[in-house]
Structure 1
Amino acid sequence: MDKLVQILTESGLPFAYDHFAEGESPEPPFVCYLLPGSDNFAADGAVYYKISEVHIELYTDCKDLSVEQQLEAVLDRHCIFYEKTETWIESERLYEVLYYFEMEV
């Protein structure tokens, strides 16, 4: 997913797939991304068009609209239609803003 890595690089935020290694997590804000599934298009009994589900998890220690806007501006520039949710993770004392969408593989 070269395009996804390019998008995350453009955001200027530190990022890792799934999680950062033990002891290597940067100070918030940071991003973890996952590819939890697919929604492929079939034709003639085969995968014709590969589509991957994408989750981008933005972690902050306080609600930070400017960082959300920074990430969203990059997604918007790449014409990515996303949905988002937000949750407070008490055990980590972090906010997680989850952006989810589908992307061609």
Structure 2
Amino acid sequence: MTQAELYQALKSIGYPIAYGSFTSPVTPPFITYQFANSNDFVADNSNYVEISNFQVELYTDKKDLNAEKLVQDKLKELGLPYRKFETYLDEEKMYQILYEVQLIGG
């Protein structure tokens, strides 16, 4: 899967989505995603398989289990195992649900 395919899949959920951050204010729920780091498989002094780690972030103004389920179902549909973290952002008064996923070979 490529980064462009990830974007299109997340966009199909129906929430506003942007890489990194939005340039103007948006109303939650919304999604951002961004490249975090690489963890390529290296063999014979070459990057043999590209493994890109991405963070998919869901922002909501209240605890929204339905929104979380939509994102999680999409990641499962794409065959992307994920790790999930939750934080409440006091200054923004929003929940941030962070999903770590890996794109292999994209």
Runs of 4+ in 1 over 6 A off after TM superposition: none
Report the counterpart of residue 15 of structure 1 in structure 2.
Answer: 17
Displacement of 1:37 in angstroms is 0.3
**TM-score normalised by L of structure 1:** 0.93
Q: Does 1:53 align with 2:53?
A: yes
The residue correspondences of 1:83-94 to structure 2 (distance < 5 A) are 83-94=83-94
Which residue identity lines up with residue 75 of structure 1 in the other structure? Answer: L
Report the counterpart of residue 26 of structure 1 in structure 2.
Answer: 26
Report the counterpart of residue 74 of structure 2 in structure 1.
Answer: 74
Residue ranges of structure 2 left out of the alignment (5+ in a row)? none
Tell me the C-alpha RMSD between the 2 structures: 0.9
**TM-score normalised by L of structure 2:** 0.92
Supply the distance in 2 between the matched residues of 1:25 and 1:99 (Cα, whole angstroms).
22
Identity %: 36
Which residue identity lines up with residue 39 of structure 1 in the other structure? Answer: N
Residue ranges of structure 1 left out of the alignment (5+ in a row)? none
Displacement of 1:61 in angstroms is 0.2
Supply the distance in 2 between the matched residues of 1:45 and 1:26 (Cα, whole angstroms).
45
Q: Does 1:97 align with 2:97?
A: yes
3-state SS, counterpart of residue 81 of structure 2: coil
